Structure 1
Amino acid sequence: MLSVSDAQAIILNLVQPLDNQRDIEVVNLLTADSRILATPVTSPLDFPHWDNSAMDGYAVRYEDVQHSSAEKPAVLEIVEEIPAGYQPQSTIQPGQTARIFTGALMPAGADTVVMQEKARREENRVFILDAPKPQEFVRHKACFYQAGTQLLPAGIKLNAPEIAVLAAAQCPQLAVYRRPRVAIFSTGDELVSVDQPLQAGQIVDSNQYAIAALVRQSGAEPVILGIVKDDPVALEKVITHAIAIADIVISSGGVSVGDYDYVDKILESLKAKIHIRAVQIKPGKPLTVATFPSTDAINRVSPLYFGLPGNPAAVLVTFWRFVLPAIKKLSGITEGWEPAFLKVRSHDELRSDGKNETYLWGKLHLIDGVYEFHKAGGSHSSGNLINLAQTNALAVLPVGKTLIYPQEEVQVLQLGKD
């Protein structure tokens, strides 16, 4: 049985990111939020576009005011007022100044801005009460970015700051990676849909909804294939269809060693290579990861198959731990796909049998400036879905660790973070 770290390494080595030529699409900037940039962006514009003022005050020649003080202020004639968006008309001569506002163009002849709090105005004259530094409060052309150089690299997720940069650079459209397609289905004769009346022994298929939500949150596109009964013929038909249309296939259930767990046998009949059958993790030990021979070596790589356990807690834990990093790498992000762990203080006593790497769900709270993990109340059975609500972190007890005391340090996987 594989360790968690070995399983993660195998999975990430199997993932081939989307192609930056074949797998791109052009989108409008207003719809580009959370997409992955496929090509580097440059701009023909300098930032700032011109020398401008970083403060409300007075545009001056430094040599006119370098010895100013409250006792001996420099007295300058105001020859112009320059609001933002106005083209200056005057050249500042010795003994002159212009009233200027934040963001406004610097007038010719001026090289420094004196903030208005350090000046006193009387009609068309201003008294400079304190000597500024040379070029103080002047934002020089191209000091933030020089035209023609790389503005944003490929392989980054476009969040609000990047969208703002692209808008300022007048990029109304841009090339992004297409969203990975993830086919999802659940297996089991006991499963029913959410709108179907329950009979004795039946279970509502919550896994499909949870996985679809997680796939959307990851930036991928879920393709819902429904519930498949424990019938080898039906399962083979759905799996064959799924691997033909998707980059990743996720099934839940049917990967254990029971008489009705057919998934691995069907994968083998379809010539799949099974790389993982079980992982030393709790919950989620029965985990299947497989790849298929590519039918089109030029245009399509082999889809990656994840056979997740059927119990809802195991589904969520194995998705967060193994599937999410794979989707991130596939999506074209150049770095940061691996799970990120924090060391925090545990509020509660945490227990494990020590046989497997154990994940306990709960919430992170910031207490007096220190993150603290609070374990969810109730049973941490892999079949208990209810206390998973509002989970934002998983505490990790490594193999051999059976007890973590309250206030002791624990490693946690923070959820819902990029």
Structure 2
Amino acid sequence: MTRTAAEHRRHILATVTPLPPATVDLAATGGLVLAGDVRSTTAIPLFDNSAMDGYAVRAAELTGADEHAPVAMPVSADIPAGATRIDPLAPGTVARIMTGAPLPEGADAIVPVERSDGGTEQVHLTLAPEVGRHVRRAGDDLAAGDLVLAAGTTLGARHVAAAAAAGHGRLTVHPRPRVAVISSGTELIAPGTTPEHGQIPDSNSYLLAELVRQAGADPIRIGAVPDDEATFARILAETSGQVDAIICSGGVSVGAYDVVKAVLAPEPAMWFGPVAMQPGKPQGFGRLGDGTLVFTLPGNPVSVYVSFEVFVAPALRALAGHAASPEIPVTAARAWQGWSSPAGREQFMPVRIVTAATESDPVEVVRVQPASARGSGSHLVGTLASADALARVPAEVTEVRPGDLIDLLEGTER
């Protein structure tokens, strides 16, 4: 039974659930999705402290101080940041204090060092501060127990910093998926080696491994395996259970040597069939008996790229705990140059961005043209590198004309 690209995507995302949470060191959480709320273990700041290098004072003792009438005060203490034992501030004295240092009991304001002569035993101050001037009060930011980060947050630098400040050295997150990448084909050889007639470099496993990395998962590139059912079945058995997902390219059509489909088709939770799209018609997806997800993609590199962006990338994000839309997110673009599209098949065309929007265009969109002058050939891996995005053409459209509005897939720019 033929599926549309939207139907296949929805089926995949309905199958995928986030990986079970794991508690990891804070330093390893960047880019991961928080699996539970994080609350502050303490007040932030923990204690009243100075927001400036200067002098901790009693504001009432400096009434009238200014540039023309400095007030001389003895310096009774020197308080660096990190000090843990602070004596109360004696009346009639000030304490030299550094930014972040605890405010001594009795002090209620800070005079910045710039409003002084910098004295260490006696200082002349030229500011009459109001109570609370340059003082950070305990709990000004958060009280103990306040929500710092909500479950579902994708952790970036500022989130990690907030968790650290709130007293957390470890966080419970959805782990980064581990994804094995396998290319199928006896004709495939390692890049950089000299091919014999009929052989080609294995570009797919490198393409997929980098796409997996860009999707936020950890790739395990197994590389090329020959068109031999026993060999493929052995590698599959060795890999399954060691990773969260396996991506295979090639060997999923109806040819005599399509070993991926031959080995996996008997699995009860696997689906193989055509998807009404170009490129990427032959697709497969399912789970092995141990729960490992399996994506089987066509063998041509452009088909691999398109299939990954449309089907695999959102699934890996869902596996990592990110929200993934069952609908394909798109933005508007305008065709700078026309091209043809097959009837009855949704087309995903690698395109280059030619120009940005102009003031004369009432629709503020970029302009695009096919990345290759040869059109949409699924083997055109050399020109794939010049693509900026994927354009989506509906199945009922057979001709894209210059000036037509079209959809660009969000997130496919590299």
Q: Given the alignment, which residue of 363, 371, 385 partners 2:381?
A: 385
Q: For residues 251-278 of structure 1, what are the alpha-carbon distances to aligned partners after superposition, in whole Å with 9 as ceiling and x for unaligned? A: 111223444435445433233341x623
Q: 2: CA distance between counterparts of 1:166 and 1:364? A: 43
2:219 matches 1:222: yes
In the other structure, the counterpart of 1:312 is 301
Partner of 2:87: 89
Q: How many residues align?
A: 399
Instruction: Indicate whether 1:358 and 2:348 are aligned.
Output: yes
Please, what TM-score do these two structures have when normalized by structure 2?
0.76
**Larger mean Cα displacement after TM superposition, 402-411 or 224-233:** 402-411
Look up the equivalent residue of 1:126 and give its one-letter code: L
1:135 maps to a residue whose letter is G
Cα deviation, residue 185, structure 1: 1.7
Task: Pick closer, same or farther for the CA change 1:146–1:405 going to 2, 3 Å.
Answer: farther
- Measure, in 1, the Cα distance between the counterparts of 2:61 and 2:50: 18
Q: Do the aligned partners of 2:348 and 2:390 also contact (CA within 8 Å) in 1? A: no
User: Does the CA-based 8 Å contact 1:252-1:309 persist in structure 2?
Assistant: yes
Residue number in structure 1 paired with 2:361: none
Does the C-alpha gap of structure 1 residues 77 and 173 become closer, same or farther in structure 2, counting only changes over 3 Å? same
TM-score (ref. length: structure 1): 0.75
Q: Give the match for residue 194 of structure 2.
A: 197
Q: CA offsets, 1:28-77, max 9 Å, x none?
A: 44445445555555553332121122234554556677x97979979574
Q: What is the aligned partner in structure 2 of residue 17 from structure 1?
A: 18
Mapping of residues 19-418 of structure 1, within 5 Å: 19-20=20-21, 24=22, 27-37=24-34, 40-42=37-39, 44-60=41-57, 77=73, 79-80=75-76, 82-86=79-83, 88-91=86-89, 93=91, 98-113=95-110, 119=115, 124-128=123-127, 135-169=132-166, 171-173=168-170, 176-194=173-191, 196-274=193-271, 277-292=273-288, 294=289, 302-331=291-320, 333-335=321-323, 341=329, 343=331, 348-349=336-337, 351-353=339-341, 355=343, 356-362=346-352, 372=366, 376=371, 378-379=373-374, 380-389=376-385, 393-400=389-396, 402-403=399-400, 405=402, 411-415=408-412
What is the CA–CA distance in structure 1 between the aligned matches of 2:66 and 2:339, rounded to whole Å?
Answer: 70
How far did 1:111 drift? Answer: 3.5
Distance in 1 between residues matched to 2:396 and 2:165, nearest whole Å: 54
> Is contact 1:254-1:309 (8 Å) kept?
yes
Tell me how far apart the structure 2 counterparts of residues 271 and 84 of structure 1 sit (CA, whole Å): 64
Gaps (5+ residues) in structure 2? 359-363
- Secondary structure in 2 matching 1:323: helix
- Measured on the aligned residues, the alpha-carbon RMSD in Å equals 4.2
Q: Show CA shifts across 1:221-265 (max 9, x none).
A: 434444333344544444455445443221111223444435445
Provide the secondary structure at the position in 1 that maps to 2:102.
coil
Please give the secondary structure, in 1, of the residue aligned with 2:377.
coil
Structure 1 unmatched ranges of 5 or more? 295-299
Q: 1:76 to 1:319 in 2, by over 3 A?
A: farther
The Cα shift of 1:189 comes to 3.3
SS at match of 2:213: helix
CA distance 1:397–1:16, shift in 2 (3 Å) = same
- Secondary structure class of the residue paired with 1:185: strand
1:361-410, Cα deviation, whole Å (9 max, x unpaired): 44699899x99566545544221112233655334344445437569685
Q: What secondary structure does 1:9 align onto? A: helix
**Equivalent position of 1:297 in the other structure:** none
